[in-house]
Structure 1
């Protein structure tokens, strides 16, 4: 017997934060609606969809990451985040790379385009940064954007004070502000980075994954079901309207049709258009205006850290036993934000590191928190021909249409990258003493912030895939979700924005269900 229902009110494809947002809003606003969520990967945590950083046992955490790596589960990954800058095509733990089709001869491509296949998606492995878009990053035709972003803050559990006790965070922000704040509007000044993380009563940090977005209201909803190891191969349509999904049970290989009044495809910015294309739903804009955020990184050392701490009366922080878990954020870390502006179209994520991503000169002891990693994400010059295409003949490891990435950096992109390299050197000097001769430019695709492939539009003008409610033009009942829906060129981390757009789509479905 099939483990799947014959029919539901809403079928959600993908269990990342945007798919989870649909399930959460529907559980709150339409609790009688029957909702089924399908995820191609396994559940790797308890509760399902939790961030792997919350798994205290290191061996179990690494096993959860390995199981998230889909068809590349047995391949080696980069444990040192700094090694990504070496040019090595190796994925970070919990992710796997597009094995081929990532670069066409004569183009830049996305050499390290990556995926995760697990309940919770990439939100089981992310850094949790949730800045709000500003300036031209904002979607001008959404008058309720700020309200939606507030809802996204709620669902993701965003805070700004989780790292207030980390050493030197105030000092780093003060020095950055002195370098960049002059002439900026208040929203664009240096500030704490909003993070999807909170501190429990016992003092431990809890990182938000899809489990936080789902919340108890969804988990306790008897009308909600989550099916892992379930590959949705296509969206079913009847008379031009979404009518359900075709799903392959990866445990048995059997295929089943699940009928639904509404379908939400939230598979990620590359696999969502793949599902639509495989379904014969191929608007002109599908897969186009693909954009990533080119990333420049550098590091600096607060050489006077011990003296600063002594002058404050606090003394130098002890080394302690705090651990960096496959990334730069730990109890010794603080995170500051230098917002994007239209004059300087890059977004700064400034993190104190327990260990430098580049070798330190000499044998001087490193005061915890005194090594500062700087990253600038650059907004893309959007191009219609930057796109992901799908093959009618070749298939990927899941049997879905194989992908080919077409992607080029324009002259404007190179100008922005040059400006970012110059800016990050000045920021490093403002913080302390730069480490290394020059900043690194990360391989394209390293940001994991792919956008635009199912972009939202104000009207159906052929340049967008979906409406302001995320409903696919000309296919009533079919909704898309994820970073691919964002229509603007952003430099800031996109998850908060994509969850906000998912809230809008979910509210539309809830209202429709209530009206019939």
Structure 2
């Protein structure tokens, strides 16, 4: 599947190998198998099959090497790993990601001080938690909901991501945690919005081992076996070619040799991430008014509690097989308009944010709670690009303009009170008060290439994800989501990618 000799032309060029880009490749492989597809990824291949989640790498040293290879043009040194308890607001990134080195905050604004990215085949999906909740209430995209499309697209996204809800059914304390949360939350909620198991992109093999989905699962055998598909790692797309007003191909630099190539294409899909997708468009001279605007992150409130009346169980011995000690699984508290935050409660070793040390005397007795807050969308929140300065890849340098509104502060205060209430329902808090992670910590950046129903200047692309001002150029990933969400956005972005890929497949067939 990996290739090195760049083609002169293809039908579809895909920039980025995360789950949204992979969804385009998969749907096109299924619906337009004769189409030639080239996928370009700036980072290296760090796992096998390409795009696999690094959590599936059994050897800890090998897993750490894969994470370090994903950390951009200037990766951390071997001894500079993130492993301490989260108690401060200092700038640091999670393993497998790298921080925006400059431009993350403008004086007088809040900024996104821990804005981070990954550069590797599979993108952030090689490092994510796998949470795939469906959006609810105001998180849903109204014009797709009204047409009845949204749920069908989400179902297809779940298929591509391999989403299940029963991976942690054997966890002995999961029913206790869910039951206590349900007693505190469920009254007055519709059934789909009640406390429940978190849908996760993970499946269990016959030998009992948990396998976490990355882009490899989205690509599937259908794409890997498609002789018309090729993946080019360590390949930096610097520009989308537009001729006579429509997509004509890409300019790509071989990171290993520095050689520059031009690859012609009928369609170009830019799925680089919510910060780098608008960067590529900007560098290409594709600069609609909404490009980079309505950028939004989810303020993240965290809290740790010890389960009340905890009774140690003999049934949580899965660590050797699964990489996790399966104590309490992952529980979901869905967003509702009346409580505009999304909640997840996770056993400590399932969470990427370390909140406490597990209790050696009573392992599994401590759980972490997290509430993600929906952002008040503002056109002034944006990623801007320089025509003079460049980043570590030689691309236009970014500056993030980002400010919490009075409504944001109100929602954050409500979330802090709510997480204390939920924690008390489960057990005893380990701290006196909850902690707000530095802005950008959620890694759920959205809105920068947002979708719109009409070309009114407030959106970058159509409902099919085609850029209004550049036909044949499509954008993909979390940046396309136009709604203010609190839930993990990957399922929604993959669902939108399915719609865009179908649109390309129809044109290829025509």
TM-score (norm 1): 0.94
CA distance in 2, matches of 1:227, 1:248: 11
Alignment CA distance shift 1:14-1:2 (3 Å)? closer
The secondary structure found in structure 1 opposite 2:392 is: coil
The secondary structure found in structure 1 opposite 2:142 is: coil
Instruction: Establish whether residue 79 from structure 1 lines up as the match of residue 58 from structure 2.
Output: no
Match of 2:12 in 1: 10
Match of 1:312 in 2: none
Instruction: Establish whether residue 345 from structure 1 lines up as the match of residue 348 from structure 2.
Output: no
The secondary structure found in structure 2 opposite 1:136 is: helix
Instruction: Establish whether residue 165 from structure 1 lines up as the match of residue 170 from structure 2.
Output: yes
The secondary structure found in structure 2 opposite 1:245 is: strand
TM superposition shift of 1:18: 0.2
Could you tell me which of 455, 464, 470 is aligned with 2:465?
470
CA contact (8 A) 1:322 1:331 kept: no
Could you tell me which of 143, 148, 151 is aligned with 1:146?
151
Which digits, 9 at most, give the CA deviation of each residue in 1:146-202, with x for residues without a partner?
000000000000000001111210010000000010011111100000000000000
CA distance in 2, matches of 1:256, 1:395: 20
Could you tell me which of 159, 176, 183 is aligned with 2:181?
176
Match of 1:28 in 2: 30
CA distance in 2, matches of 1:12, 1:94: 22
TM superposition shift of 1:368: 2.7
Could you tell me which of 53, 56, 63 is aligned with 2:55?
53
CA contact (8 A) 2:341 2:373 kept: yes
Alignment CA distance shift 1:324-1:410 (3 Å)? farther
Alignment CA distance shift 1:365-1:7 (3 Å)? closer
Unaligned runs of 5+ in 2: none
Match of 2:104 in 1: 102
Could you tell me which of 290, 308, 321 is aligned with 1:285?
290
Could you tell me which of 44, 47, 54 is aligned with 2:46?
44
Unaligned runs of 5+ in 1: 310-314
Match of 1:336 in 2: 331
Which digits, 9 at most, give the CA deviation of each residue in 1:382-410, with x for residues without a partner?
00000000001000000000000000000
Instruction: Establish whether residue 155 from structure 1 lines up as the match of residue 160 from structure 2.
Output: yes
Which digits, 9 at most, give the CA deviation of each residue in 1:232-272, with x for residues without a partner?
00000110100000000111101011000000000000000
Alignment CA distance shift 1:218-1:423 (3 Å)? same
The secondary structure found in structure 2 opposite 1:470 is: coil
TM superposition shift of 1:332: 3.2
TM superposition shift of 1:41: 0.3
Alignment CA distance shift 1:22-1:359 (3 Å)? closer
CA contact (8 A) 1:188 1:338 kept: yes
TM superposition shift of 1:364: 7.1
Instruction: Establish whether residue 249 from structure 1 lines up as the match of residue 254 from structure 2.
Output: yes
TM superposition shift of 1:89: 1.1
Instruction: Establish whether residue 418 from structure 1 lines up as the match of residue 413 from structure 2.
Output: yes
Match of 2:388 in 1: 393
CA contact (8 A) 2:355 2:368 kept: no
CA distance in 1, matches of 2:321, 2:404: 37
CA distance in 2, matches of 1:305, 1:276: 53
Could you tell me which of 233, 239, 264 is aligned with 1:259?
264
Alignment CA distance shift 1:357-1:477 (3 Å)? closer
TM superposition shift of 1:352: 1.9
TM-score (norm 2): 0.95
Alignment CA distance shift 1:158-1:383 (3 Å)? same
Alignment CA distance shift 1:381-1:21 (3 Å)? same
Which digits, 9 at most, give the CA deviation of each residue in 1:198-253, with x for residues without a partner?
00000001000000000001001000000000000000011010000000011110
Alignment CA distance shift 1:37-1:346 (3 Å)? same
Could you tell me which of 266, 277, 280 is aligned with 1:272?
277
TM superposition shift of 1:74: 2.8
CA distance in 2, matches of 1:92, 1:367: 27
TM superposition shift of 1:304: 1.2
Match of 2:125 in 1: 123
Alignment CA distance shift 1:77-1:428 (3 Å)? farther
CA contact (8 A) 1:381 1:413 kept: yes
Match of 1:487 in 2: 482
CA contact (8 A) 1:305 1:316 kept: no
CA contact (8 A) 2:331 2:346 kept: yes
The secondary structure found in structure 2 opposite 1:464 is: coil
TM superposition shift of 1:80: 2.5
Matches within 5 A, 1:165-244: 165-244=170-249
Match of 1:514 in 2: 509
CA contact (8 A) 2:56 2:212 kept: yes
CA distance in 2, matches of 1:283, 1:298: 41
CA distance in 2, matches of 1:92, 1:112: 10
Moved more, 398-407 or 297-306: 297-306
